[in-house]
């Protein structure tokens, strides 16, 4: 009896669908305005010569054709790919190790977990400045430590061959905590019975890790690989606060090059074309990753 | 980086929200004027965007309040733009959105870009019709930097220049006599070498080497001092790769890679602190840096040889929101940029005088010199800023080419001639693109 008014309201609203959409409406509107509109707008801009000031003119595919021949863009693609190829495996494997170490009953384990996560919530500007000083070739602590053990001093961010590697180290350190949290959650979701069963069957530590833990972690790993790859391809903040693409362009990645084109040289059309090339690349790479990695995920097969 | 997508969207949202707010404030504060121009009450409301904080903003607000009190027919609202670094983007967004401010603060290097907008009010006629405004009272470098193809795009808002700032204690310890106005570049180089003590991590000089405009304009001052030029007089070809440029960059490169007397900061974030900590003998920098050196007993001297320096003037630009508001903006800016008001601003902030006649405003000018040690020479140095960077839209590109050339020489990756020739080739290609 008491259900009657409720169901009337429900009928009045049409269906659960409508109610659901109403709940998400604020988010949808915001994402629409601040997400979808700019996405569509930059698609249009990528076919224009647009300096953000004077009236834009249509240039068809000229921006994209110019990109294919732009050595600076090709170099930025190369830097991005090198960075991604280093960052993704290092951060995923590294975080698995750390999560494994933290997934046990230790004194003060909460403190360690917090310590691992702190870099994630620290502002990139702050960590960037800290690394700038740590890695300073003259006054930096790292070179001082190297000199103590008799190793030659390095140029780090000032060396065109080392700068990108330093950015890899910096970002792996900065974002490890996020991956660790995901892995910790996944590790804690592994049923204890399975581990015990494996042990009873005579599996050693390594064998049970390989045959029980790793398959269970596969969805988390897939998520982290996809997520880290997307993030790595969009690297910007750390470059902006430390090397600004230098020295001599050695750390100019795709998004930084986009920023330079659009907001320093006011080639907004060209910048939009770069954004769309990157978008398509991320889309293709993600689909491939999901296709390859999604096969045989536990619970899916 | 994971934050980048969220961050970018968030930033955009903030900018848009700020614009909506600014627009909202403008119209509600605008006495509910539906059409631009005078409201039924006869009050013209204008908005000015600036990038000042703290005591500088206080000085702005005090002057604006003074104006509003004395001029009931023109009400000025001064708004903080969030940061001058993004002022051009925000101004362009506001123009596209149809509600631009009446007056906006923009860096001098943007003049050629903003001049392309039909919203910008060119000031030649207003200046010509008003002899009491006295355009020539502004320093020559300011006037050059505010002019694009003969059109005056903005009024000087802030000015500075580069000179040698040196650490007296380090000179005394090394037994080197302080820089004089008779110094040559060889004297400069020799002093830097003597001031360099590797064991103590002490350098004679420091150079910002992030290949940004900061890298470039330091060198452009040297280029001019060596009697070189950035472009040919018609702005069609690079001129910086001629003999003076090669000499200037060659000397810089020798100091960096042969003498090792230069602390090279490729990230351009650490020089101030390093100088303040007593590791650097000399800097080439401007008056804005002086408050960052509380630990150093410093002296200031002109650039060596010909004393040529470079000036980076910023400007107030008027945007067209109807004739009434343009006239009101002009009336206000004429008063705001007059010597008396600027002297008040400079006394509060330590900024250099934008008008030459401010030096005659006594006793205020003397008080100002006493209050800000070191500025005396920077004021005199304004007379040495006789050239300006080309006010053409391609300059930002040319700057990146030059930035790469300078840094590659500083890091010993290239010699001066090769690096400059390559930059000249890129520059000539950029200048050849039609329709810019």
Q: Which residue of A has its CA nearest to B115?
A: A53
**What would the two tokens of residue A5 be?**
């008014």
**What would the two tokens of residue B28 be?**
């509600």
Cα of B304 vs its chain's centroid, Å:
21
**DSSP conformation class of B257:** I
Nearest Cα residue to B180 out of B203, B163, B200: B163
Distance, CA of B289 to CA of B209 (rounded, Å): 17
A200–chain B Cβ distance below 8 A for any pair: no
Task: Tell me which chain B residues have a C-beta less than 8 angstroms from the C-beta of A162.
Answer: none
Burial class (CB in 10 A: 0-12, 13-18, 19+), B347: middle
To the nearest whole Å, the CA of B262 is away from the closest chain A CA by: 11
Q: Which residue of A has its CA nearest to B118?
A: A54
**In this complex, do A255 and B4 lie within 8 Å of one another by their Cβ atoms?**
yes
Average pLDDT over residues A89-110: 91
Interval A198-255: pLDDT, tens: 888 888 888 888 888 888 899 999 999 999 999 999 999 999 989 888 898 899 999 9
Minimum-distance CB partner of A157 among B3, B266, B413: B266
Helix (H) or strand (E) segment spanning residue B203: strand B203-208
Minimum-distance CB partner of A132 among B267, B400, B411: B267
To the nearest whole Å, the CA of B41 is away from the closest chain A CA by: 35
Cα of B359 vs its chain's centroid, Å:
21
Average pLDDT over residues A137-163: 91
**In this complex, do A157 and B116 lie within 8 Å of one another by their Cβ atoms?**
no
Mutation choice for B interface testing from A36, A138, A161, A182 by most B CBs within 10 A: A138
Residues 6 or more apart from B237 whose CB is under 8 A from it? B231, B427, B428, B431
With bands split at pLDDT 50, 70 and 90, how would you rate the model's confidence at B26? very low
Task: Tell me which chain B residues have a C-beta less than 8 angstroms from the C-beta of A249.
Answer: 404
Tallying the residues shown for chain A, one arrives at 301
Are the C-beta atoms of A66 and A47 separated by less than 8 Å? no
Average pLDDT, chain B: 89
Give the phi and the psi of residue B155 in degrees, each rounded to 5. -105, 135
Half-sphere exposure (Cβ direction) of A6: Cα atoms closer than 13 Å: 4
Does B435 have pLDDT greater than 60?
no
With bands split at pLDDT 50, 70 and 90, how would you rate the model's confidence at A55? confident
Residue A247: asked if its preceding bond is cis (omega within 30°), the reply is yes
Distance, CA of B175 to CA of B169 (rounded, Å): 10
Position A221 scores a pLDDT of: 94
Helix (H) or strand (E) segment spanning residue B48: strand B44-50
Helix (H, G, I), strand (E, B) or coil at B5: helix
Nearest Cα residue to B109 out of B191, B11, B230: B230
Interval A256-299: pLDDT, tens: 999 989 888 888 899 999 999 999 999 999 999 999 887 755 54
**DSSP conformation class of B292:** G
Residues paired with B282 in a beta bridge: B166, B205
Residues paired with B208 in a beta bridge: B265
Nearest Cα residue to B211 out of B390, B394, B408: B408
If you search the block for the tokens 């009434």, which residue do you land on? B324
Task: Tell me which chain A residues have a C-beta less than 8 angstroms from the C-beta of B263.
Answer: 138
Does A300 have pLDDT greater than 50?
no
**In this complex, do A264 and B400 lie within 8 Å of one another by their Cβ atoms?**
yes
Report the phi/psi class of residue B32: left, alpha or beta, with left for phi > 0 and alpha for psi in -120 to 50: left
Higher pLDDT, B19 or A220: A220
**DSSP conformation class of B56:** H
Distance, CA of B359 to CA of B370 (rounded, Å): 13
With bands split at pLDDT 50, 70 and 90, how would you rate the model's confidence at A169? very high
Cα of B299 vs its chain's centroid, Å:
22
**What would the two tokens of residue A124 be?**
């990139």
Mutation choice for A interface testing from B2, B7, B97 by most A CBs within 10 A: B2
Position B36 scores a pLDDT of: 46
Question: DSSP for B383-432?
Answer: GG-------STTHHHHHHHHHHHHHHHHTTSS-HHHHHHHHHHHHHHHHH
Position A182 scores a pLDDT of: 95
Average the pLDDT over each of A98-107, B8-17, B39-48, B383-392 and give the range with the smallest value. Answer: B8-17
How would you write chain A as a 3-class SS string?
CCHHHHHHHHHHCCCHHHHHHHHHHHHHHHHHHHHHHHHHHHHHHCCEECCCCCCCEECCCHHHHHHHHCHHHHHHHHHHHHHHHHHHHHHHHHHHHHHHHHCCCCCCHHHHHHHHHHHHHCCHHHHHHHHHHHCCCCCCHHHHHHHHCCCCCCCHHHCCCCHHHHHHHHHHHHHHHHHHHHHHHHHHCCCHHHHHHHHHCCCCHHHHHHHHHHHHCHHHHHHHHHHHHHHHHCCCHHHHHCCCCCCCCCCCCHHHHHHHHHHHCCCHHHHHHHHHHHHHHHHHHHHHHHHHHHCCCCCCC
To the nearest whole Å, the CA of A246 is away from the closest chain B CA by: 6
Average pLDDT over residues B353-366: 95
Position B54 scores a pLDDT of: 85
With bands split at pLDDT 50, 70 and 90, how would you rate the model's confidence at A12? low
Are the C-beta atoms of B325 and B44 separated by less than 8 Å? yes
Task: Tell me which chain B residues have a C-beta less than 8 angstroms from the C-beta of A138.
Answer: 201, 203, 263
Q: How far is CA A289 from CA A46, A98, A178, A230, B115, in A?
A: 27, 24, 20, 11, 48
Interval B241-252: pLDDT, tens: 999 999 999 999
* CA A79, A84, A85, A86 torsion-angle sign: positive
Task: Tell me which chain A residues have a C-beta less than 8 angstroms from the C-beta of B397.
Answer: 265
β-bridge pairing B262-265 and B203-208 = parallel
Q: What is the count of residue pairs from A and B with beta carbons less than 8 Å apart?
A: 103
**In this complex, do A30 and B264 lie within 8 Å of one another by their Cβ atoms?**
no
Average the pLDDT over each of A11-25, A27-41, B20-34, B38-52 and give the range with the smallest value. Answer: B20-34
């Amino acid at each position: 009896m008491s259900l009657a008014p409720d169901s009337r309201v429900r009928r009045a609203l049409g269906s659960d669908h409508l109610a659901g959409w109403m709940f998400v409406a604020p988010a949808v509107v915001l994402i629409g305005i601040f997400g979808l509109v700019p996405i569509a707008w930059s698609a249009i801009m990528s076919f224009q010569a647009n300096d953000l000031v004077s009236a834009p003119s249509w240039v068809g595919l000229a921006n994209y054709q110019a990109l294919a021949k732009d050595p600076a863009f090709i170099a930025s693609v190369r830097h991005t790919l090198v960075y991604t190829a280093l960052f993704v495996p290092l951060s995923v494997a590294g975080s698995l190790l750390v999560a494994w170490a933290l997934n046990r009953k230790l004194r003060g384990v909460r403190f360690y977990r917090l310590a691992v996560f702190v870099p994630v919530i620290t502002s990139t500007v702050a960590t960037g400045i800290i690394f700038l000083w740590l890695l300073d070739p003259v006054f930096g602590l790292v070179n001082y430590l190297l000199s103590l053990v008799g190793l030659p001093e390095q140029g780090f961010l000032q060396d065109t061959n080392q700068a990108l590697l330093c950015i890899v180290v910096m970002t792996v350190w900065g974002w490890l905590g996020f991956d660790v949290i995901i892995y910790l959650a996944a590790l804690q979701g592994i049923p204890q019975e399975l581990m015990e069963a494996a042990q009873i069957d005579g599996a050693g530590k390594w064998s049970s890790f390989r045959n029980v833990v790793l398959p269970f972690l596969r969805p988390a790993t897939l998520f982290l690989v996809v997520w880290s790859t997307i993030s790595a391809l969009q690297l910007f903040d750390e470059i902006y606060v430390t090397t600004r693409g230098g020295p001599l362009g050695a750390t100019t990645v795709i998004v930084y090059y986009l920023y330079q084109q659009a907001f320093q040289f006011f080639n907004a059309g060209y910048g939009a074309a770069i954004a769309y090339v990157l978008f398509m690349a991320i889309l293709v790479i993600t689909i491939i990753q999901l296709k390859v990695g999604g096969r045989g995920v536990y619970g899916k097969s | 980086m994971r934050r980048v997508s969220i961050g970018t969207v968030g930033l955009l949202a903030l900018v848009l929200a700020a614009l909506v707010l600014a627009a909202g404030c403008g119209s509600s504060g605008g006495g509910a004027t539906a059409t631009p121009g005078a409201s039924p009450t006869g009050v013209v409301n204008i908005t000015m965007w600036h990038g000042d904080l703290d005591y500088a903003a206080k000085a702005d607000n005090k002057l604006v309040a003074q104006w509003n009190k004395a001029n009931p027919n023109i009400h000025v609202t001064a708004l903080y733009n969030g940061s001058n670094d993004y002022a051009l983007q925000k101004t362009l967004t506001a123009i596209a959105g149809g509600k631009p401010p009446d007056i906006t603060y923009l860096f001098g290097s943007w003049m050629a870009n903003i001049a392309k907008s039909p919203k910008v009010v060119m000031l030649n006629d207003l200046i010509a019709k008003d002899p009491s405004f006295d355009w020539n009272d502004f320093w020559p470098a300011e006037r050059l930097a505010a002019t694009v193809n003969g059109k005056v795009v903005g009024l000087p808002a802030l000015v500075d220049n580069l000179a040698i700032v040196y650490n007296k204690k380090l000179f005394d310890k090394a037994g080197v006599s302080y820089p004089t106005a008779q110094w040559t570049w060889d004297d400069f180089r020799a002093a830097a070498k003597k001031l360099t003590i590797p064991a103590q991590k002490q350098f004679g000089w420091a150079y910002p080497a992030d290949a940004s405009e900061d890298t470039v304009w330091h060198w452009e001052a040297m280029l001019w001092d060596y009697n070189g030029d950035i472009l040919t007089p018609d702005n069609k070809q690079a001129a910086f790769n001629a003999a003076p440029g090669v000499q200037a960059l060659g000397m810089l490169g020798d100091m960096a890679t042969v003498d090792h007397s230069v602390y090279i900061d490729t990230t351009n974030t650490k020089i101030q602190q390093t100088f303040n900590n007593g590791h650097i003998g000399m800097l080439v920098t401007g008056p804005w840096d002086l408050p960052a050196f509380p630990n150093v007993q410093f002296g200031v001297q002109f650039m060596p040889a010909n004393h040529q320096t470079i000036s980076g003037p910023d400007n107030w630009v008027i945007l067209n929101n109807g004739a009434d508001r343009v006239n009101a903006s002009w009336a206000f800016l004429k008063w705001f940029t007059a010597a008396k008001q600027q002297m008040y601003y400079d006394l509060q902030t330590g900024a250099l005088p934008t008008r030459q006649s401010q030096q005659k405003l006594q006793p205020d000018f003397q008080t100002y010199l006493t209050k800000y040690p070191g500025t005396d020479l920077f004021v005199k140095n304004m007379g040495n800023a006789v050239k300006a960077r080309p006010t053409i839209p391609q300059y930002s590109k040319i700057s990146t080419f030059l930035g790469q050339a300078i840094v590659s020489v500083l890091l010993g990756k290239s010699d001066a001639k090769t690096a400059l020739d390559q930059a000249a080739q890129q520059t000539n290609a950029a200048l050849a693109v039609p329709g810019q």
